[in-house]
Amino acid sequence: MNPQQWLEQRTFHHSNFWDLRWLVEQKERQGLTISLCLPALNEEMTIGKEIVILKSELHDRYPLIDEIAVIDSGSTDRTREIAASFGADVYLASDYLPQYGQQRGKGENLWKALYLLKGDIIVYIDSDINNIHPRFVYGLVGPLIQNPDIHYVKAFYDRPLAFTGGLRPTGGGRVTEILIRPLFNLFYPDLAFILQPLSGEYAGRRSILEQIPFPVGYGVETAMLIDIYGKLGLDGFAQTDLDRRVHRNQDTVALGRMAFGVLRTFIRRLVRDGKAQFAEELPSLMRQFEVEEGRRYQTKEYTIEEVERPPMIELPEYREKFHAAAAG
C-alpha cells in the first residue's frame, strides 16, 4: 500500500482494542506470549504506580501479558526495591551478558530484554509516565494480535509539557519536529508518516526485534524504525493513538545532546544505505556553553558516541536459549 493508504489503514486509536477479553482469547488461540519491559533509571517516583496499574488489570484480571520486568541501568534510588515489592521481575542490566562488556543507556536495557524475557511480543513502556493507564499496553499489542502482517507498533499521543504550576496543553516532541521529521522527509519519506517516531512506547514481535542492532543511547528509537523499515517496508508497521502522555520533560540543552546522538545514529544509516558519503569519520564531541557572572562563557564538553549492540540473533547464547530446537 502507498503511504497515504498506510496512514489510513494502519493508524489506530486505543479504543479499537478496549475488549480485553477478546484480546486474551485471540492471544491464546494464536499461542502467543507477551512480555512487558519497563526500562528504568532512578524512577522511584513512578515505577510503583506503573506496575500496580498494569499488573492488576493486564496480568491478574485479564492475562494479556505473561510477565512484567524492570530492566534497570543501575539506579541509585529505590527503583529496583519498589519494583520488586510490587511483583515485577527485576534485572540489573550489567549482571547479564557481561562477556560483551558493559554499556549504560535505555537501548542497552531494551536489547538485553530480548535475552531476558520470554515473550513472542515485547512491549516497551517508559518508566516515567505520570498518567499511566492500561491503554499504553493494549493499544500497542492490539494491532499485533489482530493482524499477523503487522510486526511493530509505535505509540503517538498529545504530549503536554510539564512545568512548575501545572501543564501546558501543547508541546513536546521538539526533537521530532525540528530534527527527525525533516530528516525522514529528506531520506526516508515513508517514515515521515509515523506521527511520533521518538515516542518511548512501542511493541514488536521478537522475530523482527532480534534481527536489528540496538544503539545503547539516544538513537535507539530512530534506528529501530529505519532498520525495521529496511527489512519489512512500511507495511510492517502500525501506530496507535494513546490520547495523552504526561511525563518529566527535558530542558532544551539536554535535548541538544539527544539530537546530537540521534543524528550520529541517523548518519551511520545514511552511509550504510548508500544515501550519503563523508570523507572523514564524524566527531563524537559536542560542545555546549553556560554563561557565568561577568558574561564569561563556560564550555561544557560531552562525548556522545552512540555505541551499537549487534542484532541479538547473532549471539550464540541467545540462539541457544531461543532457537536451539530449530537448530537441532
Model-level pTM greater than 0.85? yes
The better pLDDT of the pair 113, 282 is held by: 113
What number of other Cβ atoms are within 10 A of residue 24's Cβ?
A: 18
pLDDT mean across residues, the chain: 92
Q: Is residue 315 part of a domain?
A: no
Domain that holds residue 163: 3-249
Q: How many domains does the chain have?
A: 1
- The mean pLDDT of 309-318, rounded to a whole number, is 98
- The mean pLDDT of 22-46, rounded to a whole number, is 97
Read off the CATH number of the domain in which 50 is found.
3.90.550.10
* Confidence at 247, pLDDT banded by 50, 70, 90: low
Distances (CA, A) of 301 to 3, 29, 257: 41, 54, 10
Q: Is residue 102 part of a domain?
A: yes
Q: What digits encode the pLDDT tens for the residues 263-274?
A: 999 999 999 999
146 CB burial (10 A radius; 0-12, 13-18, 19+): middle
Q: What stretches of the chain show up as alpha helix (H) in DSSP?
A: 3-9, 20-29, 47-55, 79-85, 106-116, 135-146, 174-175, 181-187, 206-209, 220-232, 252-272, 316-322, 324-327
Q: Is residue 279 part of a domain?
A: no
State the amino acid at position 137 in one-letter form.
V
- The mean pLDDT of 134-144, rounded to a whole number, is 98
- The mean pLDDT of 54-68, rounded to a whole number, is 98
Grid coordinates in use for 207? 522475530
Q: Is residue 312 part of a domain?
A: no
Q: Is residue 299 part of a domain?
A: no
Q: What digits encode the pLDDT tens for the residues 160-214?
A: 544 444 444 444 478 888 999 999 999 999 999 999 999 999 999 999 999 999 9
Q: Is residue 85 part of a domain?
A: yes
Q: Is residue 280 part of a domain?
A: no
- Is pLDDT above 80 for 148? yes
Q: Is residue 95 part of a domain?
A: yes
The better pLDDT of the pair 159, 43 is held by: 43
